[in-house]
């Protein structure tokens, strides 16, 4: 998004003109200002921090350690190794749990909400509404629901089954966190799909039905191919959002049981804020950012191929 807006500037100036117009830059400026202040500068400062043993409360005690903070992430004998890789694999596990439903169910909902029936607007509002809540509200709500004596267990018991320790056991904790996340964020993906669906010309479906295609064929042969670029986009932002999971396990399980739902962002927070080791925390962040960039690149390379060329 950002790159596109910025690229509007240079072409204007490349035209053979004597005077460079300042207008395009003024248009870009408000965004650029915040982009630099809150993204670019912190990112490069993060790289700088990651080269030191950095404690923000001890400015007189910040030795330069070179790449040692990065090396520690790959050294099984280091303090950080076990917990960092445990957190990284937890995050990967959550992505396995969450990405497919977040994309699949959102697409299904969008198709349903795109039909013509009474009260469509109401349903659209209802499905999008949770997205407007803060992570704290959503998490505390589901934390309550999944309590030992919460509504889920009460319902289960009403059917004569044994209650489940959702938040204190595996895989109950992941189930609870995943359901919370889907409920909370699915509205966003749904709205994007919905917008894209409305862009597909009706004539395609009319032509297909004249040719005798049933609704499944219409879905897989018209809807899905027409949504390809949007699918790649939604898949990418969902992958990134899932990799950035923090609030839900932080509030619902505290990272437990036995660090089983401690995500990589939680680990970075722990290392930087609780242990005060900003240097290693920054190195972890940079490493995770590189991982996500590679993932996004692969995503576009494999799923976005035809669209790109």
Partner 1 sequence: MKNFTRFVFPALVIMSLLLSACGSQPTATQPPAATQAPAGQSPAETQAPASGDNACPAGVEGAVLEMWSPFTGPDGDEMTALAERFSQENPCGVTVTHIAQPEYVQKLEAAAAAGQLPAMTAVRAINVAQLAARNVLKPFSNEAMAVFGEEIAGDLPEDLWNVGLYKEERYSFPLDVHPLVMFYNKDLFAAAGIEEPGSEPWTREQFEDALSKLEASGVTPLSLGTAFQGAALWQALIRQYGGSLTDEAGTTATYNSEAGVQALERIKELRDKYTPEISGGGDPEVNVFKQGDVGMTFHGPWWISDLQKLDFVGFAPLPTLGNQPATWGGSHQLGFTTDDPTTQAAGALWIKWLSDNSMEWAKAGQVPARQSVRNDPALAEAAFPISRVAESANIVVILAQVPALEPALWDHFGPVVDAYLAGDVADPKAALDEAARKSQQVMDENVSIYE
Stretch that binds partner 1, among 7-15, 25-33, 269-277, 291-299 (CB under 8 A): 269-277
Q: Does 150 bind partner 1 (CB under 8 A)?
A: no
Between 149 and 198, name the residue whose CB sits nearer to partner 1: 149
Bridge partners, 52 (sequence order):
64
Alpha-carbon gap, residue 202 to 277, rounded angstroms: 57
Q: Does 301 bind partner 1 (CB under 8 A)?
A: no
Q: How far is the CB of 117 from partner 1 (least distance, A)?
A: 43
Binding mask 50-89 for partner 1 (x = CB under 8 A): ---x-xxxx------------------xxx--x-------
Q: Which CB sits closer to partner 1, 37 or 79?
A: 79
Comparison of 65 and 232: residue with beta carbon closer to partner 1: 65
Cα angle 126, 111, 127 (rounded to 5 degrees) comes to 10
User: Rounded to a whole number, what is the distance in angstroms from the first to the last CA of the chain?
Assistant: 19
Q: Is the peptide bond before 171 cis (omega within 30 degrees of 0)?
A: yes
Which of the stretches 101-109, 110-118, 234-242, 274-282 binds partner 1 when contact is defined by CB under 8 A? Answer: 274-282
Site for partner 1 in 245-264 (CB under 8 A): 258-259
Query: Which C-beta is closer to partner 1: that of 146 or that of 193?
Result: 146
Residue in the structure block whose two tokens are 């990967």: 92
Instruction: Tell me how far the alpha carbon of residue 155 is from its chain's centroid.
Output: 32
Give me the least distance between CB of 52 and partner 1, in Å please: 12
Residue 302 tokens read as 């494999």
Spatial separation of the C-alpha atoms in residues 208 and 38, rounded to whole Å:
49
Determine contact, residues 249/255, Cβ cutoff 8 Å.
yes
Please give the Cα distance from 167 to 170 (Å, whole number): 8
Q: Does 42 bind partner 1 (CB under 8 A)?
A: no
Query: Which positions lie near partner 1, rule CB under 8 A?
Result: 53, 55-58, 77-79, 82, 147-148, 165, 167-168, 258-259, 273-277
């Amino acid at each position: 998004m950002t790159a596109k807006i910025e690229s509007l500037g240079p072409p204007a100036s490349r035209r053979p003109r004597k005077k460079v117009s300042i207008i395009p830059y003024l248009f870009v400026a408000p965004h650029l200002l915040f982009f630099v202040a809150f993204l670019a500068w912190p990112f490069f400062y993060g790289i700088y921090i990651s080269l030191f043993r950095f404690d923000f409360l001890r400015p007189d005690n910040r030795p330069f350690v070179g790449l040692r903070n990065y090396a520690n992430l790959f050294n099984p004998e280091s303090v950080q190794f076990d917990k960092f890789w445990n957190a990284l694999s937890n995050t990967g596990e959550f992505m396995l749990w969450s990405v497919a439903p977040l994309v699949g169910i959102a697409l299904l909902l969008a198709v349903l909400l795109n039909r013509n029936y009474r009260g469509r607007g109401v349903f659209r509002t209802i499905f999008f509404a949770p997205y407007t809540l803060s992570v704290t509200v959503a998490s505390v709500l589901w934390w309550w629901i999944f309590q030992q004596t919460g509504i889920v267990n009460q319902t289960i018991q009403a059917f004569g089954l044994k209650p489940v320790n959702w938040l204190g056991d595996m895989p109950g904790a992941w189930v609870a966190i995943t359901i919370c996340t889907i409920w909370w964020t699915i509205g966003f993906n749904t709205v994007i799909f919905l917008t894209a669906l409305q862009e597909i010309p009706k004539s395609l479906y009319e032509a297909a039905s004249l040719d005798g295609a049933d609704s499944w064929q219409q879905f897989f042969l018209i809807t899905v191919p027409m949504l390809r670029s949007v699918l790649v986009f939604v898949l990418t932002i969902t992958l990134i959002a899932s990799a950035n999971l923090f609030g839900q396990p932080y509030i619902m399980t505290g990272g437990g049981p036995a660090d089983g739902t401690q995500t990589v962002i939680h680990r970075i927070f722990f290392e930087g804020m609780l242990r005060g080791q900003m240097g290693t925390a920054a190195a972890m962040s940079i490493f995770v950012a590189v991982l996500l960039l590679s993932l996004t690149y692969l995503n576009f390379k494999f799923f976005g191929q035809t669209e790109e060329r």
